Copies of this chain bind each other. A is one copy, B any other.
Amino acid sequence: MNNPSRLDRLRDAGYKLTNARTVVLNVIETHEGHMTSAEILDAVASRDSSIGRASVFRTLDLLTRLAIIRPTYTAGSATPTYVLMPDGHHHHIVCVQCHQTIEFEDCGLGSLAERLEGEFGVKLTGHLLEFYGICGACSEAGVVDDEV
Contact = CB atoms under 8 A, between A and B. Distances in A.
Given A60-B77, A93-B116, A132 B136 contact: no
A122 B148 contact: no
Interface in A13-71: 13-14, 37, 57, 60-61, 64-67, 70-71
Nearest to A96: B65
A108 B76 CA distance: 27
Given A125-B134, A125-B146, A129-B130, 15 more contacts: A12-B146, A13-B144, A13-B145, A37-B77, A60-B76, A65-B97, A67-B96, A67-B146, A71-B76, A71-B77, A72-B73, A87-B148, A102-B122, A122-B136, A128-B129
Interface of A: 9, 12-14, 37, 57, 60-61, 64-67, 70-73, 76-77, 80, 87-88, 93, 95-97, 102, 104, 107-109, 112-113, 116-117, 119-136, 139, 144-148
